[in-house]
Chains A and B, each alone.
Chain A
Amino acid sequence: EVQLLESGGGLVQPGGSLRLSCAASGFTFSSYAMSWVRQAPGKGLDWVSTITGSVGGGSTYYADSVKGRFTISRDNSKNTLYLQMNSLRAEDTAVYYCARAQRITTGVWFDHWGQGTLVTVSS
Chain B
Amino acid sequence: QSVLTQPPSVSAAPGQKVTISCSGSSSNIGNNYVSWYQQLPGTAPKLLIYDDNKRLSGIPDRFSGSKSGTSATLAITGLQTGDEADYYCATWDGSLSTGVFGGGTKLTVL
Distance of A119 Cα from B99 Cα, bound (Å) = 21
List residues of chain B with CB within 8 A of the CB of A63. 98
- A29 at interface (Cβ–Cβ under 8 A)? no
List residues of chain A with CB within 8 A of the CB of B97. 61, 105
Task: Tell whether A108 pairs with B99 under 8 Å between CB atoms, given A97-B44, A113-B45, A114-B44.
Answer: yes
- A46 at interface (Cβ–Cβ under 8 A)? yes
List residues of chain A with CB within 8 A of the CB of B101. 37, 44-47
Nearest CB in chain A: distance from B93 CB, A: 10
- B73 at interface (Cβ–Cβ under 8 A)? no
Interface size of B by CB at 8 A reads 30
Nearest CB in chain A: distance from B71 CB, A: 14
Task: Tell whether A50 pairs with B45 under 8 Å between CB atoms, given A105-B94, A107-B34.
Answer: no
Q: How large is the interface on A (under 10, 10 to 19, 20 to 34, 35 or more residues)?
A: 20 to 34
Task: Tell whether A111 pairs with B50 under 8 Å between CB atoms, given A104-B92, A105-B92, A106-B32.
Answer: yes
- A116 at interface (Cβ–Cβ under 8 A)? yes
- B35 at interface (Cβ–Cβ under 8 A)? yes
Distance of A110 Cα from B91 Cα, bound (Å) = 10
**Could you give, for residues 86-116 of chain A, a 1 whenever the CB lies within 8 Å of some chain B CB and a 0 otherwise?**
0000000000010001111111111101111
- Contact of B56 with A111 in the complex, beta carbons under 8 Å: yes
- B2 at interface (Cβ–Cβ under 8 A)? yes
Distance of A40 Cα from B91 Cα, bound (Å) = 20
- Contact of A47 with B103 in the complex, beta carbons under 8 Å: no
| Identity of the chain B residue whose Cβ is nearest the Cβ of A112 in the assembled complex | B47
Distance of A111 Cα from B51 Cα, bound (Å) = 12
Distance of A96 Cα from B41 Cα, bound (Å) = 16
Which listed residue (A97, A108, A114) contacts B35, Cβ 8 A? A108
- A64 at interface (Cβ–Cβ under 8 A)? yes
Nearest CB in chain A: distance from B58 CB, A: 11
**What would be 14 A-B contacts, judged by CB atoms less than 8 Å apart?**
A35-B99, A44-B2, A45-B37, A47-B101, A61-B99, A101-B99, A103-B92, A105-B32, A105-B97, A107-B33, A107-B91, A108-B91, A108-B99, A111-B50
Give A residues with C-beta under 8 Å from B: 35, 37, 44-47, 50, 61-64, 97, 101-111, 113-116
